[in-house]
A and B are shown apart, each in its own frame.
Chain A
């Protein structure tokens, strides 16, 4: 508002100056005309005829004496300058006209200045109303900013920012919802998993409690209790890991490290177990892979490798062989872990990566396991932008090949 007042004042002064100038120049003009009249009046009619006198005046040849004489003459008749003459009246009219026109122009100017301001204000108000509408939409969980996005300038920019903010909130909310649902599912799954062994343990104990057992039977039930307890311990360990992973307590911390070293750590930690079963683990790596560094979480990636290798050992016959090959591709390091074990039927390909899934085969049921390992492995790898898949044929000697991909440095951010 202040700016507009300054404009109005400056323009007002300019118009007044212009008016003063116009009036001044008219007055000057009239003075010249009156002088001419004086000159004509002071003319001596014997010396010159009228035409000659007018010609002189037009040529601006001023005859001072004549002029003064004329003035005196006219003054003696009561004509003092412009006062009370046709000029006086005209001057009044002119001034009136000038002032009227100036006032008109000035009003038009004010109208423009304040009108523009009003329109801008109205526009702003509309934008503000729309934004407030969008924001109250946000409150009511409506995050789509539908209007104004195509608008130019700052308002358009504002809309597009609001729109992307809305999208972000939406994604955040959906992620939160997913996490909540995931946690619910996890709690259900875990309680389901724990129920069976706990019930078995309970039965075992209550049998022991009854007391009328032979020493031999007592010992057997005791052993069974112990086994159940051990199984439960394993399960709880796995569940703790999985819960940590699911609830985000495990943070993947990527560091630039040699991927081969991480694999080596995994292999070493299973060395004893493989030795026991006389299973040989060999590398068949692409040259230079030992020097390849990539961003990965060494601790959890090692865990992922261990899970796959552990399965390979578990489901291989004694004397078997496990081959690990690592190669650098365009975007991923590709790790193949190949065994000659029992293999996985095609219809179980995706199942094996599901939480708490265990294979249908007799052989699988015989082995200890909670159905968590491969699920965790997949989670760990996917959180690092990687993937895992199995290529396998069930049956003798075919075994399974697990293919792991982890993104190379600089890929995927």
Chain B
């Protein structure tokens, strides 16, 4: 099976000399197509920095990130932005929904940016899978945390990205809802053949993944 996502000796340092912080330190990981990987670590272990670099949201001090064999940091900035939009879906802890537009618009917005023809049947299918049919006209702030997270998941999956990067997607949710959200993420990723990388500090949540990568002080331990 091909590696869809790979890091080679990835480093991210902040500051200099004595006070230098090694947020990510010589990390090399491989993630296969269709895999569900959980990256587990305490807060401050560098896992979010790692995820941001995986998604091309942050530049490394040294090392490479390869997506489908392509070094994403060798791309020009505009190319990287397009690449990110086409290949990667993000789900954040804070949901990051646009508050002034309704649920439906939030879900289809990234596709509009890309001028991509929308596969409406597919989007409706996702909306159905995530149980959002009746909420499409709602504004995000009228929804519960779990519902907002489902909208964020729908948005991430709708543009058919190859990779979904989820940063503490259950951070603001109670444990039963967390189990459901991760179950849904897994189910959708399997159903649509997507690769899922999830960051969490919660080892109980991480169990649902196919594989767990543990990160401590910026280094992969396991």
Closest to A410 in B: B128
B145 within 8 A of A: no
Q: In whole angstroms, what is the CA distance A332 to B180 when docked?
A: 7
**Interface size class, chain B:** 20 to 34
Contact for A405 among B179, B190, B193, B204, CB less than 8 A? B179
- The answer to whether A353 touches B207, judged by C-beta atoms less than 8 angstroms apart, is yes
Let me know if A403 and B179 touch, CB within 8 A. yes
A181 lies within 8 A of B1 (CB) = yes
Q: What's the nearest-Cβ distance from chain A to residue B188, in Å? A: 8
| Known contacts A171-B193, A174-B2, A334-B179; is-contact A350 B131 (Cβ 8 Å) | no
Cβ of B183 within 8 Å of any chain A Cβ, yes or no, is yes
B207 touches A405 (CB 8 A): no
Chain B interface secondary structure, helix, strand, loop or mixed? helix
Kindly list chain A residues whose C-beta atoms are within 8 Å of the C-beta of B207: 349-350, 353, 389-390
Interface contacts (Cβ under 8 Å), in number, total: 66
The 0/1 profile, CB within 8 Å of A marked 1, for residues 172-202 of chain B is 0000100110111011101101000000000
Minimum C-beta distance from B40 to chain A (A): 10
Let me know if B146 and A332 touch, CB within 8 A.
Answer: no
Residues on A with beta carbons closer than 8 Å to the beta carbon of B146: 330
Alpha-carbon separation in the docked complex, A410 to B125 (Å): 11
Report A-chain residues with C-beta under 8 Å of the C-beta of B136: none
Interface check B93, CB cutoff 8 A: no
A412 to B186, CA, bound (A): 11
> Are B129 and A389 in touch, CB under 8 angstroms?
no
Chain A residue numbers with a CB within 8 Å of B193 are 171
Pair B204/A330 contact, Cβ less than 8 Å? no
A interface: dominant SS: mixed
Is A329 in contact with chain B by the CB < 8 A criterion? yes
Cβ proximity bits A380-399 to B, threshold 8 Å, 1 near / 0 not: 00100111011100000000
Nearest Cβ distance between residue A384 and chain B, in whole angstroms?
10
Query: How far apart sit A334 and B184, CA to CA, in the bound complex (Å)?
Result: 13
Q: Is A202 interfacial (CB 8 A cutoff)?
A: no
A341 at the interface (CB under 8 A from B): no
What B residues does A187 contact at CB under 8 A? none
Query: Are the C-beta atoms of B183 and A386 separated by less than 8 Å?
Result: yes
Q: Are B1 and A178 in contact (CB under 8 A)?
A: yes
Residues of B within 8 A of A334 (CB): 176, 179-180
B131 and A349 form a contact (CB under 8 A): no
CB–CB A411/B131 < 8 A: yes
Residues of B contacting A118 with CB < 8 Å?
none
Between-chain CB contacts (< 8 Å), 5 pairs = A178-B1, A350-B206, A382-B190, A386-B183, A412-B187
9 A-B pairs with the lowest CB-CB distances in the bound complex, closest first: A389-B207, A405-B183, A387-B208, A385-B187, A412-B187, A387-B183, A391-B204, A350-B207, A349-B207
Given A331-B183, A389-B179, A389-B207, list of 15 further CB < 8 A pairs? A174-B33, A329-B180, A331-B180, A349-B207, A350-B212, A385-B191, A387-B182, A387-B186, A389-B205, A390-B204, A407-B183, A407-B187, A411-B187, A412-B191, A413-B191
